[in-house]
Chain A
Amino acid sequence: MADTTNTSAPTLVAAQAAAPTLEVRNLQTHFFTRAGVVKAVNDVSFTIGRGKVLGLVGESGSGKTVTGFSIMKLIDPPGRIVGGSILFQGRDLATLSEEEMRTLRGNRIAMIFQDPMMTLNPVLRIDTQMIETVQAHEKVSDADARARARDALGMVGIPSPDERLKSYPHQFSGGMRQRVAIAIALLHRPDLIVADEPTTALDVTIQGQILAEVQKLCATTGTAMLWITHDLSVVAGLADDIAVMYAGRVVEYGDVGEVLDAPLHPYTHGLIGSVPSRNKRGVPLRQIPGMTPSLLNLPEGCSFRARCPRAAEDCIVMPTLHPWLPNRLARCHHPHLEEVESA
């Protein structure tokens, strides 16, 4: 694999100050389906320091969720991690037994899923589920566990938490279910939270409240966060760094403000141009031409080549994630450097 020769994960200066909570190096996760090998994650590297938030954005189907699941070691057959490493506080997760991994999960590492029903059990009342979660990793009395559950629900803005604890998941709206799932993830104040589009279903006032709680958690307890989303405005306000994925690879990685102000990679460029608030009302939104390449059958060279306005002959060779500028990496032969200078 020509493009996976880096030996350590790229580290941005901002993240170097503290020992990293999470280091992902050249991760590869493939699905061995009957139709062929789906290279869902093909080369993903990043580092998250204590108390830092990395925003992971990118094309729908580019492998963000599979990256999150790989970190949690929740990939089921026909999927398999086939390359790279995942270091949590310096420990390679590949060396842990399923038992050790289970202890980490839900205690030191928590995941908030795109689908809240991955966290919630439909046949159990919310209080039963939350008290069980608290008591799975700590010796706590029922009354104390209930109090913790109630506080966590209050933190994510669930009204009348005492009454709501007695409800079943189906009695909540989509957004309220997600808030319960977030509350469960916060129960143990984990060292790392992998959050997959957690506020996508929420209105902006509640989203603001949850993001404020999350910021407070990172700042006070040093929780590191991988925040997967497609909402660039949320990333802008929440994250320290941003990684942009396209077709299974990180194509741009850097300081969030710098990347959003002057993206280097043509894909990031197109993505930011499609944000509705950057477009005129009533006219079609700017969109990136063409369709996402099939992960079964990626084109030779740069995966964005067929859709890229800057593509040239040398793009037939897969570019590496290159540090073009301090704190700025891009997987592209012809990045938008001119715009960085003018920004």
Chain B
Amino acid sequence: MSQSQMQTQVPDAPRVFADSETPMIELRQVSRRFSKKLDIAAKLARRLGASVKEEIVHAVDHVDLRVRKGEVVGLVGESGCGKSTLGRIVAGILPQSEGEVFWNGQNVAAMQGEAAKIGKLRRQMIFQDPYASLNPRMRVADIVGEAPLVHGLATRANFDAYVDEQMRRAGLDPAFKRRYPHQFSGGQRQRIGIARALAVAPEFIVCDEAVAALDVSIQAQILNLFMQLRKDLDLTYLFISHDLGVVEHLSDRVVIMYLGRVVEEAPTERVFAAANHPYTQSLLASVPRIGNRKRAFATVKGEIPSPLNPPPGCHFHPRCPHAFDRCRVEVPKLREIAPGQRSACHLNDAA
């Protein structure tokens, strides 16, 4: 990765996006459920007449999401709240159980043949887990170069040059291309995932904790690289991260999820200056700061609810300091409370 390329100024965030624009990706009321299969004992018990039900996890629960071309949307939320599941649906590698996904205004379910294939190729995902997402028996050169070869972006003749270029762009030494994934450190493996995703010339990238495994100076290189590519290739990102510092730095807009649902959505400065939802507020309050010294870490109040058995009404009510009767029975709707800011909390109705 050349230094001059890395140091170039990127356009000042935030960019303004018109609401009338057709989103590059749009989800309408998308849900994803996972069922926990019954084991033999449970099946037997059921056959004998016991009332044993299959347990259902509502990983993603009626989510609306729009990402416009050139936009960077940060997706944050508690571990297990469904971020990766939502990211995989957006990237087209996991089918939704309900709802519709649109790619450049076209319903993905209705796309066929070549169009469907290309639509899928244009959406790439960089995975959270650099261990599980790389085939341990493939050499780096093949991990990075296989898909471009299959899809005609690289040829047998220029394969090596193509792979070298992709590796260099992600900050990897091409001299290591004959190595296997286990011979790399965690951060280096993450770069392999980045090189693989970029190698098929995508337009939309879902980054699932893509820099979580990197040290902050390499993280800075990769984030600068993402921003540079956004400018050069007009890339669009859904950026999943629990690192609010990273999300604040590079997102135009932030979407906050809690237990499968979107609870707040707003332009980045708005979220950090005037978060509306009580969960967003508690999230911001827990951010560790480098200026803190040997402090007692705060423990979250209240039982963290189970996605197997989410509380009725507002999912956040068992932990919410402002919860009142209505919160325990009625699901709050996500609605606009300020220009571009939407929040799902009953407190907004009282005003």
Q: Which residues of A contact B (CB under 8 A)?
A: 33, 57-62, 65, 114-115, 117, 157-160, 163-164, 166-167, 171-176, 179, 197, 200-209, 211-212, 215, 230-234, 236-240, 256-257, 260, 270-272, 274-279, 281-291, 294
- Smallest CB–CB gap between A243 and chain B, Å? 14
B245 A61 Cβ-Cβ under 8 A: no
Of the residues B7, B215, B294, B308, contact of A237 by C-beta under 8 Å: B294
Closest 9 CB pairs of A and B: A60-B187, A175-B79, A285-B220, A282-B13, A61-B185, A159-B306, A160-B306, A233-B288, A274-B220
Of the residues A160, A200, A215, A233, contact of B308 by C-beta under 8 Å: A160
B217 A288 Cβ-Cβ under 8 A: yes
- Smallest CB–CB gap between A343 and chain B, Å? 13
A176 B214 Cβ-Cβ under 8 A: no
| B95 at the binding interface (Cβ < 8 Å) | no
B131 A58 Cβ-Cβ under 8 A: no
B217 A240 Cβ-Cβ under 8 A: no
Chain B residues closer than 8 Å to A206, beta-carbon distance = 78-79, 300, 304
Most buried by A among B11, B242, B244: B242
Chain A residues closer than 8 Å to B187, beta-carbon distance = 60-61
Chain A residues closer than 8 Å to B183, beta-carbon distance = 33
Chain A residues closer than 8 Å to B209, beta-carbon distance = 174, 200-201
Total cross-chain contacts (CB, 8 A): 224
- Smallest CB–CB gap between B288 and chain A, Å? 4
Chain A residues closer than 8 Å to B45, beta-carbon distance = none
The CA of A294 and the CA of B131, in the complex, are separated in Å by 22
For residue A288, which residue of chain B has the nearest CB?
A: B217
- Smallest CB–CB gap between B316 and chain A, Å? 11
In which size bucket is the chain B interface? 35 or more
Q: Which residues of B contact A (CB under 8 A)?
A: 1, 3, 6-14, 34, 36, 39, 55, 57, 76-81, 84, 128-129, 131-132, 171, 173, 175, 183-188, 209, 212-221, 223-224, 227-228, 242-246, 248-249, 268, 282-283, 286-300, 303-309
Chain B residues closer than 8 Å to A166, beta-carbon distance = 39
**With A60-B215, A160-B306, A200-B213: A114-B186 Cβ-Cβ less than 8 Å:** yes
Most buried by B among A157, A234, A287: A287
A276 B290 Cβ-Cβ under 8 A: no
Q: A33-B183, A208-B288 are in contact. List 13 more A-B contacts (CB 8 A).
A: A114-B186, A115-B132, A160-B306, A174-B209, A200-B213, A204-B286, A206-B304, A212-B296, A270-B217, A276-B248, A282-B11, A287-B217, A287-B220
